[in-house]
Chains A and B, each alone.
Chain A
Amino acid sequence: MTTTHRPIDQRVEAPLKLTGAARYAADHAPEGVLHAVLVGAPVAAGRLTGVDTADGRATPGVTAVLTAADLPSFGTLTAPAAVLTMPFSDDVIRYEGQPVAIVLAESVAAAEAGRAAVVVHCDAAEPAVLGAGAREPAPGVEEFVLGDVDRALAEADLRLDLTYVQPPRHHHAMETSGTVARWDGDRLTVWDSVQAGGTVVGVLAGAFGIDEQDVRVICPHTGGGFGSKGFIWPHEILAAAAARIAGRPVSLHLRRSDQFTAVGYQPWISQTIRLAASADGTLQGIEHTVVNNTALADDFVEPAAIASTAMYAVPAIRTRQFVERVSLNLPTPMRAPVEGPGMWALESAMNELADAVGVDPLDLRLANHADVCPSDGRPWSGKGLREAYEEGARRYGWRDRHSRPGTDGPWRIGHGMATCSMGSFRFPGHARVRLRADGSVAVEAGVHDIGSGVQTALTQIVADELGVDPAVVDVYWGDTDLPRTGPTYGSSTTVGTGSAVAAAARDVGKQLAALGVDVDPAEALARAGVDALVGEGDFTVRNGFDMDGASTPWAMRTWGAIFVEVGVDPDFGLLRLRRAVGVYSAGRIVNPTTARAQMTGGIIFGWGKATMEESDQEPVHGRWLAKNLSNVAVPVNADIPADLDVSFVDEYDEHAGLIGAKGIGELGATGVDAAVAAAVHDAVGVRVRDLPILPWKVFEGVSSCDTAPDGR
């Protein structure tokens, strides 16, 4: 009884978000709520010697200033808590902004005034800064070795040995993280801005030594996350602790400046790629070495080298991962993690190899296409990369790009391309579908609305499965009282939750069939005299989490090709994105409207990473140089042309889940940086290997060229 309706072309939550009715964590103000503000350490390294709270407490409206002495000792934290070394647990200052006090007040303004009056005393020490921290092999990561890379490098016709760097960058979700906590006896309710509410429950229960059943996390809307709200951060625990101490609900909505240190960021990453190739460009070996910064006390590894184990048909691969400990807060995944940085290095090196061999970069990729997974020989669950290359080249006009004018006024025009790819994270989940006697359908899934359009996708899936009009489907989400789904990160939501919802709908379908399929659902229920049919659905993966199909016979990834046209003004080093074409192979596209928005957003994220975004560690004091949105560039509307052409290869991946889909949220953000760097080189002959590609780097490169480059 599958009737496919026209895809929903307007998000089902549109009325909420367009009228201000959509409520985010800090929009909740339970009766008697106090506002909390964190007081951070003023130096990046040293020892806390005292916190003078008298003037803070005397500030009108302030009800309390909490320091370490006031806080309970928390239970042992384990992942997915991001930070396992809670602030306040000792007197060591490990980064500037590390919370040392919490001001509670009757209003936001009073809390901020109180914050300014708190005096923090410390013995400052020399901070460990990026590039000078202690390096060690990445904890928990084993070297990957296939074949003999050393021999491949020794015997190759062509060898490249190149290092690519990207700076730390923050997620800059428009909604800063925030938690509103309320205790009712020993029961804790939090309105939290998160990407995985189900995992918050266990961490809070563990921290406070209470039962998981006594913790409820409500998160109807998340104002962007991009990874920053994926794991559980100390402020979520501190808000609940403050509420318990105060005996009143507490709202801790991070100030923008505190967001820089209270949650993570994408770390500084340096990657060295060594390629061995024969004279025609056939790859013989890849060595990929990655070092990323982590915090002094906690570990974060950015496993970027995975990209090189999965991308090209190559007989010898070796990857290594290191971390460097510096006086900064802990990094975390950011759209796009893993292959985000990994493809920046690998795809840039492939573009340089194409130039060294003298072949079109697209042909180099086609020649080295991996028909099976290079690291273990498994077949792909689905791969339409060749089609994506071909369709992208056609839509872009790649093959005759250099027959078009190469200048436009002061702008030199360059063209670049790269492969896009993300691994497939799959999490188990449970969902419920309720067909009511009036013919309406309720979908219950504790998934989060982070802007990816999950409610629309789930509505679409259930309407298709049950053959009902999408208009009769209601989705209930964002509450841990609902069936637990997987998280809303790792591009995993549609495949995981979508599959669970499809299974629940099929369960309803089976029950309906037993009542007689030839009649209208509502009529069947009425005839049987039941109020509702309730279907339960599970999406299961072995071991509770599956990465890239590891627990299956299939290697699972998503794919794509990105082509960009960039204008470069050689006199000023300015860059302009003129247009982009992205074609993606990611299984079935459940809803074209929301999928297009995801890919468009990813490309823009990639442009920001390539040309603008950078969070600098101040080299003397060790703190973030700028902790605001005024002095940290992110793309705005003027930076982005309307001509972003996004399309998908028509396919259905029957192995990744129950609905043919795979993840797309991060795919679009991969490869863009490498394509942009190639386009800059194409335009003015300048190779920039450390992101972002800022005007001064282009200008210096142009100035240092002996002869006017033609870039061809």
Chain B
Amino acid sequence: MEFRTQVTVVPRVNGDPVRTTVSPRTTLLDWLREHRGLTGIKKGCNEGACGACTVLVDGLRMNGCLTLVAQCDGREITTVEGLSPPDGSLHPVQRAFAEHDAFQCGYCTPGQLLSAVGCIAEGHAGDEGTVREWMSGNICRCSAYPQITAAVLAAGEGERR
């Protein structure tokens, strides 16, 4: 097995293909922040315990700190910057978070939003207990949990309608 010092991959970031040559150890989190200037993704623990770096990879929620850029060739990466449509309006999940006051300091919020999109898409937004369980990979230390649960339920309801 050959260890290469650099790999070249072409992930799609918020719809746009990006050709990049990186160290095989570069995480999606550091790459998005330092190389792409997308600072919506946050570093909270860098070991998959807090969820602040949650992004969607091909629609599935992933921790950016535990995902290597080398794994993302050809994959669609969605960050919070790509969540709202180009017309500047808010995504339904963003609207639900505003309406239900589902954030305080805002640091975990990008991760919560993307996790909520994934949670709803997985079909885990039907009732309070399920939402609480499936949103538990994202810590909110300000502790807006009841409001987050309400927002995810409302956005999930809207989606099913």
Contact = CB atoms under 8 A, between A and B. Distances in A.
Contact of A174 (B38, B42, B137): B42
Interface in A552-603: 593-594, 596-597, 600-601
Contact of B44 (A29, A174, A604): A174
Contacts of B34: 29, 107-108
A604 B46 contact: no
A574 B135 CA distance: 21
A636 interface: yes
A10 B141 contact: no
Contact of B106 (A22, A594, A639): A22
Interface in B77-126: 79-81, 83-84, 90, 94, 97-99, 101, 103-110, 113
Contact of A629 (B37, B39, B41, B139): B139
Which of A11, A21, A22 has the most B CB atoms < 10 Å from its CB?
A22
Which of B43, B136, B141 has the most A CB atoms < 10 Å from its CB?
B141
Contacts of A18: 80, 90, 94, 97-98, 103, 109, 113
Interface in B56-96: 79-81, 83-84, 90, 94
B99 A10 contact: yes
B13 interface: no
B118 to A, nearest CB: 14
Interface residues of A, number: 61
Given A222-B105, A629-B49, A600 B143 contact: yes
Given A223-B42, A600-B147, A637-B138, A19 B25 contact: no
Contacts, number: 178
A592 to B, nearest CB: 10
Nearest to B29: A108
Contacts of B138: 636-637
A630 B67 CA distance: 18
B150 A605 contact: no
A601 B142 contact: yes
Contacts of B148: 637
Contact of B141 (A173, A222, A600): A173
Contacts of B47: 256, 628-630
A634 interface: yes
Contacts of A469: none
A601 B143 contact: yes
Given A19-B94, A223-B42, A635-B145, A452 B139 contact: no
Secondary structure call for the A interface: loop
B101 A10 contact: yes
Contacts of B30: 107-109
Contacts of A11: 98, 101, 103
Contact of A256 (B27, B44, B137): B44
A640 B84 CA distance: 29
Contacts of A224: 104-105, 107, 141-142
Contacts of B98: 10-11, 14-15, 18
Contacts of A174: 42, 44, 50, 52, 105, 107-108, 139-142
Contacts of B46: 255-256
A498 interface: no
Interface in B14-48: 23, 25-27, 30, 33-34, 37-48
B136 A451 contact: no
A11 B99 CA distance: 9
A594 B47 CA distance: 31
19 contacts: A11-B101, A20-B39, A22-B106, A24-B42, A27-B39, A29-B37, A171-B141, A173-B105, A174-B139, A174-B141, A176-B43, A223-B108, A224-B104, A224-B141, A256-B46, A452-B104, A604-B143, A636-B136, A640-B143
9 smallest beta-carbon distances between A and B, as pairs: A20-B40, A223-B107, A451-B105, A451-B104, A17-B106, A604-B143, A20-B80, A27-B39, A629-B49
